[in-house]
Amino acid sequence: MVESYRRIVLASRPHGWVTEENFRIEEVPSPQLQEGEVRVRNHFLSLDPYMRGRMNDAKSYAQPQKLDDTMGGATVGEVVESKSDAFAVGDTVRGMLGWAEYGIAPAQALQKIDARTIPMSAYLGVVGMPGMTAWYGFHKVLEPKAGETLVVSAASGAVGSVVGQLGKIAGLSVVGIAGGPDKCRYVTEELGFDACIDYKTAENAKALAAMIAAVAPKGVDAHFENVGGDVLNAVMTQLNPFARVAICGLISDYNAQPGQVPRSAILNPGLFLVARFKMQGFIVSDHLNLWPQGLGEIARQVAEGRIKYRESIANGLAAAPAAFIGLLKGENFGKQVVRLV
């Protein structure tokens, strides 16, 4: 029996940028296990941009994170106690057990994973929610065709890196947008993108648009957006007629002050009419029925070495707030996780 464990709770709601003072680490008693429940020692915690939106007390696609409750998030770990026939001690599982060293969940809320062929942490990234986000947005929203040109923002990140590799597998020309020469080099040399633009070298959206035009002279047929801001407005000027845009995230606005004009405000709405393109936002949790198919395909491609991935790993539960803030600033390289064991 685990007598107590440490967790991180939301201590206050941020106004603008998140600070470490918005979180509190505390030690709490471990409750008794009830019938049908499983206790898990979390080994890795996933940090994801969507968590920033849930920190606000505002209407969204998910309920706001409650104050003084364990911060929500996906985890992978090992079963240490079970009162369910579905799981035995020693099983490795994925769940939503939050920013905590241990967690309890009903058996139906957990998924058994095989960490023998794919590392446990990868089930939080490339073969987890980010990978599935990439798969759904690419196949179901962008509906790509071989020979088309695809642009992917945040191309070195957990989602964008998979989108671009799916594009190359499908026979597209793929242009990444990332921050800094190291990330761009990784995107082209390791992931196989045809080109990568360092957005930090562009003074404004107009300059960024010119950089996109230089590497995509035939225009852009599909765009996967993770960032927003100048990136979105720049790509929009390069869209071909009947292009498709998948809005996965707009991280450039996640720390905006209340009432502030979003950086992702569209500067030229007339482009919708001129290019007749489709722009669609999506939330991957709306499509749980497709997860087995999508994650099954990605897992096979990872095992075959056709999809590569990279992780940024912070060590220890106490490192989670700083790592999360770094993620929002683009300091991570690949999927951001926290090692808890």
Quote the pLDDT of residue 63.
85
Quote the pLDDT of residue 246.
98
Which of 23-32, 248-257, 265-274, 300-309 has the weakest average pLDDT?
248-257
Predicted confidence (pLDDT) at residue 31 exceeds the cutoff of 90 = yes
Give the domain ranges of the chain: 4-124+310-339, 129-285
Reported as a pLDDT band with limits 50, 70 and 90, residue 113 is very high
Quote the pLDDT of residue 261.
87
Q: What is the mean pLDDT of residues 87-97?
A: 98
Q: Is CATH 3.30.9.30 the classification given to domain 4-124+310-339?
A: no
Q: What is the mean pLDDT of residues 157-161?
A: 96
Quote the pLDDT of residue 221.
98
Quote the pLDDT of residue 86.
97
Reported as a pLDDT band with limits 50, 70 and 90, residue 58 is confident
The rounded mean pLDDT for the chain is 96
Which residue, among 40, 60, 42, has the nearest Cα to 51 in the 3D structure? 60
Which residue, among 66, 118, 70, 71, has the nearest Cα to 94 in the 3D structure? 118
Quote the pLDDT of residue 59.
77
Q: What is the mean pLDDT of residues 162-177?
A: 98
Q: What is the mean pLDDT of residues 306-314?
A: 97
Share of the chain above pLDDT 90, in %: 92
What is the helix (H) or strand (E) element at residue 323, kind and residue range?
A: helix 320-328
Quote the pLDDT of residue 275.
97
Phi-psi region of 329 (alpha: psi -120 to 50; beta: other; left: phi over 0): alpha
The span from the CA of 152 to the CA of 130, in Å, is: 14
Quote the pLDDT of residue 103.
97
Secondary structure string (H, E, C) spanning 189-217: HHCCCCEEEEHHHCCCHHHHHHHHHHHCC
Predicted confidence (pLDDT) at residue 1 exceeds the cutoff of 80 = no
What distances in angstroms separate CA 199 from CA 21, 77, 183, 219, 235, one per listed residue? 31, 37, 11, 18, 12
Predicted confidence (pLDDT) at residue 278 exceeds the cutoff of 90 = yes
Q: What is the mean pLDDT of residues 307-311?
A: 97
Given the structure tokens 């020979």, which residue do they identify?
147
Share of the chain above pLDDT 70, in %: 100
For the stretch 239-274, pLDDT in tens is: 999 999 999 999 998 888 777 889 899 999 999 999
What distances in angstroms separate CA 144 from CA 49, 94, 166, 168, 275, one per listed residue? 26, 31, 10, 11, 17
- Report which residue type is found at 293: Q
Which residue, among 273, 255, 208, has the nearest Cα to 234 in the 3D structure? 208
The span from the CA of 134 to the CA of 167, in Å, is: 10
Predicted confidence (pLDDT) at residue 314 exceeds the cutoff of 90 = yes
Quote the pLDDT of residue 2.
83
Q: What is the mean pLDDT of residues 34-60?
A: 94
> What's the CATH number of domain 129-285, 3.30.360.10, 3.40.50.300, 3.40.50.720, 3.30.70.3340?
3.40.50.720
For the stretch 133-144, pLDDT in tens is: 999 999 999 999
